[in-house]
Structure 1
Amino acid sequence: MRLRHIEVIQALLQTGHLGTAAEWLQLPVTEVEERLREAESELGFMLFASVRGRLQSTPEARALQVEIAHVYQALEPVQRLASSLKQYLAPPLRIIGTPPLAQQLLPQSIALLRRRLPDAPCRLLSSPTCDIVRSLLLRESDLGLSLHDPEHPDIHCQPLAHGKLQLLAPHGWLQPKQKYISLQDLAGQAMVGLEGHDPLSPALENKLQALRPAPSIQTRVQTHQMMRSMVEAGEGLAIVDPFTALGARTSGLDVCPLSPAVPISLYALTYRHSATPTAIQTLLAIITEQAEAMLAS
């Protein structure tokens, strides 16, 4: 009994109808009938009997059903291997971004890329900038997105868009229609701090600590997203990147930039000594357009 016979028997066991089995197998009904007759002729016994317009399996067919299931289980590794070989022929775009970008900017950008290049697989990861640089140097990623320039000799850093750091505050903390907040207005305020290495943090924190009285920072967290969550929980104020601040108003927070403004840029990071694939170039154009639209809003 050949594999094509087993496919027909399995389809008929599952559906009990020639037409439905033919649709399932994407074959003409006549070909399904022919394969069934071939299988029964080779085996020397009937597999199905027609009962009131449906095909009823014989005891012999039901006995074969267990072994047929084993055949399909044995085929699964072959199917997985074939899928992986296909991916190897079309390797995924390996993209890695800092958490605010991986959560706010990249999902929409990759969705737009999928519409333009539907056959371009993607892999998206989230890591801090230092890990992004390491991933690019080890050729584990094709493109990194960060809000910091790592200033590494083997990393090409291309600015894509520019924005400003934003203050997040509980609803009603800012005056109605207030467009900016002075650093001096943060003196003595309860604020959420950032734990760990962030290139923007030392300079900003030095300015905050120079205020009299200095802000009170009782809670420190690891990412800007966590800072936003702490503000939403009523833990105080926070200064975050503009992508983290996106949508904060709809979640009930007050948002405005600092004055004087503290600029921040979006950078594309690539390994300096490798060519940039066409798909990555297309994605960079999409990311730039999306980022500029988000920052303008």
Structure 2
Amino acid sequence: MDSELLRTFLEVSHTKHFGKAAENLYLTQAAVSTRIRQLESQLGVQLFTRLRNNIRLTPAGEKLRPLANANLTLVQRIRQEVAIANNQSQQISIGATPNLWDAFLQHELSQLFGQFPGIAMRAEAHTATTLARQLLERTLDIAITFDAPKIDEVSTEEIVQVPLFLASSHNTDSWQEAMANHYVMVDWGTAFNVQHAQQFTGAPPAVLQTNTGRIALDFLLTNGGSAFLPESLLTPYIELGQLHIVENTPSISRSVYASYITESDRLDSFKKVIEAIKGEQPVPAESLTPTEDA
């Protein structure tokens, strides 16, 4: 049975909302609905009762949920065993939010391949909520997020600090002036949102809200504007004079955490990978670095 259909089913059963499930899975709501219909058609049963603002599992859906979790765990085990048979000592899956892949993890992934040639890697981008659930489902080994999941079975370590600076396409030392010019609000996690609201009271509404720094960066370079972005993303564009850090504006530093299941027979391998990432200077994804003739 298609594991993606089961993963979609579990997401809808958790959120009880097709729209929220679609957001967490980076799919359209129509795609989520189609997957659920496909799964129901394959099984010949209805999995959800669909009333307005009230989605519930049917008895068949309740029966499927633990089986779906077990299936996804088995898929992960199969991947692990196949990796071993393919002359790889083991496979480790790393998941993070898109922001963290862009800010430094994409670069770190390349470094990990060099440091651990015997380990096959799998990289995934999801919301923090989805990553935490995948840890519990044992379909993900290491989750890297801004907001550490508070789950009994999960251990968490701080691995790096990512400073965020207000950058603008216009050279100004006033955050009010910078934010008045096409301000893009990037969701850098709960702590950032709280600190932002406290420090920048009276800020004009953002013209764009996004949970991805890559989208904000492209918007600033194309349309002009301002946004809080990591220094690792900003530096090459500051050197080219395309963006400017707004002086006299406090930076907001975010802690980044690595989380993993405490009771795992591969705990030593997880810790070695995390230790290799820990404390490294953030370097952006190669695709976000301007070329010499840009």
Q: TM-score, normalised by structure 2?
A: 0.57
Larger radius of gyration: 1
Cross-structure match for 1:222: 211
Specify whether residues 167 and 276 from structure 1 end up closer, same or farther in structure 2 by C-alpha distance, changes over 3 A only.
farther
Contact 1:182/1:260 (8 A) holds in 2: no
The alpha-carbon deviation at position 161 of structure 1 amounts to 1.6
Specify whether residues 243 and 147 from structure 1 end up closer, same or farther in structure 2 by C-alpha distance, changes over 3 A only.
farther
RMSD: 3.3
Cross-structure match for 2:38: none
Specify whether residues 221 and 104 from structure 1 end up closer, same or farther in structure 2 by C-alpha distance, changes over 3 A only.
closer
Q: Give the whole-Å Cα distance in 2 for the aligned partners of 1:257 and 1:101.
A: 25
Cross-structure match for 1:66: none
AA matched with 1:229: D
Cross-structure match for 2:105: 106
Aligned residues: 203
Gaps of 5+ in 1: 1-81, 176-180
Give 1:119-268 correspondences, 5 Å limit. Answer: 119-170=118-169, 173-174=170-171, 183-184=175-176, 186=178, 188-194=180-186, 198-200=189-191, 202-207=193-198, 210-211=201-202, 214-245=203-234, 247-249=236-238, 252-255=242-245, 259-268=249-258
Q: Give the whole-Å Cα distance in 2 for the aligned partners of 1:198 and 1:219.
A: 17
Cross-structure match for 1:67: none
Q: Give the whole-Å Cα distance in 2 for the aligned partners of 1:235 and 1:221.
A: 16
The alpha-carbon deviation at position 132 of structure 1 amounts to 1.1
AA matched with 2:161: H
Specify whether residues 188 and 149 from structure 1 end up closer, same or farther in structure 2 by C-alpha distance, changes over 3 A only.
same
Give 1:19-168 correspondences, 5 Å limit. Answer: 86-87=85-86, 90-168=89-167
Cross-structure match for 2:73: none
* More moved, 150-159 vs 121-130: 150-159
Contact 1:157/1:269 (8 A) holds in 2: yes
Contact 1:144/1:269 (8 A) holds in 2: yes
Q: Give the whole-Å Cα distance in 1 for the aligned partners of 2:155 and 2:215.
A: 29
Contact 1:192/1:235 (8 A) holds in 2: no
AA matched with 2:258: A
Q: Give the whole-Å Cα distance in 1 for the aligned partners of 2:96 and 2:195.
A: 23
Specify whether residues 107 and 275 from structure 1 end up closer, same or farther in structure 2 by C-alpha distance, changes over 3 A only.
same
Contact 2:95/2:126 (8 A) holds in 1: yes
Cα deviation, 1:255-284, whole Å, max 9, x if unaligned, reads 368733322112111123335533332222
Gaps of 5+ in 2: 1-80, 285-294
**Secondary structure of the equivalent of 2:259?**
strand
Q: Give the whole-Å Cα distance in 2 for the aligned partners of 1:148 and 1:161.
A: 13
Specify whether residues 235 and 99 from structure 1 end up closer, same or farther in structure 2 by C-alpha distance, changes over 3 A only.
same
Specify whether residues 184 and 243 from structure 1 end up closer, same or farther in structure 2 by C-alpha distance, changes over 3 A only.
same
AA matched with 1:283: V
Cross-structure match for 1:38: none
Q: Give the whole-Å Cα distance in 2 for the aligned partners of 1:105 and 1:260.
A: 22
Contact 2:174/2:248 (8 A) holds in 1: yes
Contact 2:146/2:189 (8 A) holds in 1: no
AA matched with 1:238: A
The alpha-carbon deviation at position 104 of structure 1 amounts to 4.2
Specify whether residues 223 and 233 from structure 1 end up closer, same or farther in structure 2 by C-alpha distance, changes over 3 A only.
same
Q: Give the whole-Å Cα distance in 1 for the aligned partners of 2:280 and 2:186.
A: 27
AA matched with 1:285: E
Q: TM-score, normalised by structure 1?
A: 0.57
The alpha-carbon deviation at position 121 of structure 1 amounts to 0.7
Contact 1:183/1:208 (8 A) holds in 2: no
